[in-house]
Amino acid sequence: MSNKKKKKMTPVQQEYHDFSKVREPKRPVLRNCLWAFFVGGFICLLGQFIQDFFLWNFEFTEKTAGNPTVAIMVLLSTLLTGIGVYDHIAQHAGAGTAVPVTGFANSVASAAIEHRTEGYVLGVGGNMFKLAGSVIVFGTFAAFVVALVRTTLALLGGS
């Protein structure tokens, strides 16, 4: 707390602040970072195993194996969110579960589950993209800009 705010406190407030500060539990930052690192790494490792499965068993190329891998990761994340497992994992792993694809699917599925009692159109449809909407808009805009730059460079380059 800044010294400016401490000066505005009454003596009783300052005493209570000091009292609560001493008894506040310390955050296990290192443990939380390790959990996030290993759980996020495990999610990525699982995705790599799924991609390798498509590469070895269906003779996909690395480029073509990406789409079914992402689809399965989204499906797994949505299923785990639906049965409540993903939230329990996220309580312990924190940012480790925010690995882009699975975290995105979790945010959409969580919002849909939370608002299902309000109906499918206004509840689920209207609320499930509130958090994820900005990601979709930015992704669409970024894809447009990249396509515009590539097209311009191709036209200028003559190929």
Q: What integer is the mean pLDDT of 152-157?
A: 90
The three state secondary structure string of the chain is CCHHHHHHCCHHHHHHHHHHHHHCCCCCHHHHHHHHHHHHHHHHHHHHHHHHHHHHHHCCCHHHHHHHHHHHHHHHHHHHHHCCHHHHHHHHHHHHHHCHHHHHHHHHHHHHHHCHHHCHHHHHHHHCCCCCHHHHHHHHHHHHHHHHHHHHHHHHHCC
**pLDDT tens-digit readout, 62-117:** 999 999 999 999 999 999 999 999 989 989 888 888 887 888 888 888 888 888 88
**pLDDT tens-digit readout, 9-49:** 888 989 898 888 888 888 899 999 999 999 999 999 999 99
